[in-house]
């Protein structure tokens, strides 16, 4: 049984597969626990990245604040 | 423990080298600053905290012994930050002459779990920030931009493809390639 590639799982989540590809993927996911788990992992990873992105923005704001202080030595 | 195992940097720190100070401040300063905001410190106190932690760290280097089996650098830094926060809050309390401890301070133990969670999230963001900085040196800017736009800014891949004037398949390949490299880097940096 050929598993769904990581890129096709990503495309499936974005609704960027052709109708035929989408049907093939859905059919496969219904009977393949491994790919179903992988799809869930991809979803979780995306959510984690978006959450990290918010903290990355806070880190950048903190870096800007530090650059306005005398903490960095010349 | 990449930072403290760099023998040259460690030597420079002990000599009081400004470049070593700045390297450390750039790497960990923002993280320390954020810890202060989680404890509701004022901007002046956050600046004080960052200075205090850096000074404490540099002073401690004289007696610091590299012993990874005793714990992670992350935990070592965390303890220094916490000590410095408590000192600032104690000083604030003394200055205001309050007998009652103010609300929204670090002494609110009920809030400890939430603070721990924030600390973990901020450390993870710090790790990703370091990893992304490394990727900027090794990955083509366009590929990194694809990843940043799709995965961090939540833009639609087809919009990013139009923006970059490349195929949709290229964008997915970029994201996949960058994610693999990022995952590897994060794995090595995470438990340092």
Of the two residues B178 and B74, the one the predictor is more confident about is B178
Q: What gap in Å lies between CA A7 and CA A14, rounded to an integer?
A: 11
Query: What b/e sequence results for B52-66 when a residue is b if at least 16 CB atoms lie within 10 Å of its CB, and e otherwise?
Result: bbbebbbeeeeeeee
Report pLDDT digits (tens) over B59-74.
777 666 656 666 777 8
CATH number, domain B1-107: 1.10.1740.10
- Report domain extents, chain B: 1-107, 111-192
Residue B43 has pLDDT above 50, yes or no: yes
Please name which of B138, B123, B137 lies closest in space to residue B186, comparing C-alpha atoms: B123
At B164 the pLDDT is: 98
Q: At what angle do helices B43-60 and B18-38 cross, to 10 degrees?
A: 130
What pLDDT does B17 receive? 73
CATH number given to B111-192: 1.10.10
Q: Which residue has the higher pLDDT, A4 or B4?
A: A4
Alpha helix stretches (DSSP H) within chain B: 2-5, 7-15, 18-38, 43-60, 73-96, 112-138, 141-147, 157-164, 168-190
User: pLDDT tens digits, residue range B147-176?
Assistant: 999 999 999 999 999 999 999 999 999 999
Rounded Cα–Cα distance for residues A44 and A38 (Å) = 10
At B96 the pLDDT is 79
pLDDT attached to residue B186: 94
Residues B2-33: tens digit of each pLDDT: 444 455 665 666 676 777 778 888 888 999 99
**Percent over 70 (pLDDT), chain B:** 78
- Cross-chain Cβ contact B153/A53 below 8 Å: yes
- CA B141 to chain centroid, in Å, comes to 23
Q: Is B22 in contact with A72 (Cβ distance < 8 A)?
A: yes
Residues in B lying within 8 Å of A, measured between beta carbons: 18, 21-22, 25-26, 29-31, 33-34, 37, 43, 46-47, 50-51, 54, 121-122, 124-126, 128-129, 132, 151-154, 156-158, 168, 172-173, 175-176, 179
pLDDT value of position A45: 96
User: Does the pLDDT of residue A31 top 70, yes or no?
Assistant: yes
Least CB–CB distance from A72: residue in B25, B152, B168 = B25
Highest mean pLDDT among A50-54, A63-67, B1-5, B52-56: A50-54
For residue A57, give the chain B residue with the closest CA. B125
């Amino acid at each position: 049984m050929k598993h769904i590639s990581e890129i096709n799982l990503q495309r499936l989540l974005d609704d960027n597969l052709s109708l035929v590809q989408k049907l093939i993927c859905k059919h496969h996911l219904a009977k393949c626990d491994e790919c179903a788990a992988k799809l869930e992992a991809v979803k979780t990873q995306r959510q984690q990245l978006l959450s990290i992105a918010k903290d990355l923005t806070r880190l950048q704001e903190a870096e800007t604040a530090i650059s306005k202080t005398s903490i960095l030595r010349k | 423990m990449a930072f403290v195992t760099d023998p040259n940097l460690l030597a420079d720190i002990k000599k009081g080298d400004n470049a070593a100070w700045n390297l450390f401040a750039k790497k960990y300063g923002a993280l320390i600053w954020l810890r202060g905001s989680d404890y509701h410190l004022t901007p002046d106190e956050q600046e004080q905290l960052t200075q205090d932690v850096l000074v404490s760290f540099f002073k401690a280097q004289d007696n610091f012994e590299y012993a990874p089996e005793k714990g992670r650098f992350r935990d070592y830094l965390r303890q220094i930050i916490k000590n410095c926060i408590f000192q600032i809050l104690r000083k604030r309390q003394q200055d205001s002459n309050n007998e009652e401890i103010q609300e929204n301070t670090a002494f609110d133990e009920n809030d400890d779990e939430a603070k721990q969670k924030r600390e973990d999230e901020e450390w993870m963001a710090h790790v990703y920030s370091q990893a992304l900085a490394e990727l900027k040196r090794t990955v083509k800017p366009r590929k990194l931009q694809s990843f940043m736009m799709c995965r961090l800014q939540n833009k639609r891949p087809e919009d990013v493809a139009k923006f970059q004037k490349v195929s949709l398949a290229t964008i997915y390949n970029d994201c996949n390639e960058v994610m693999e490299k990022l995952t590897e880097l994060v794995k090595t940096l995470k438990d340092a």
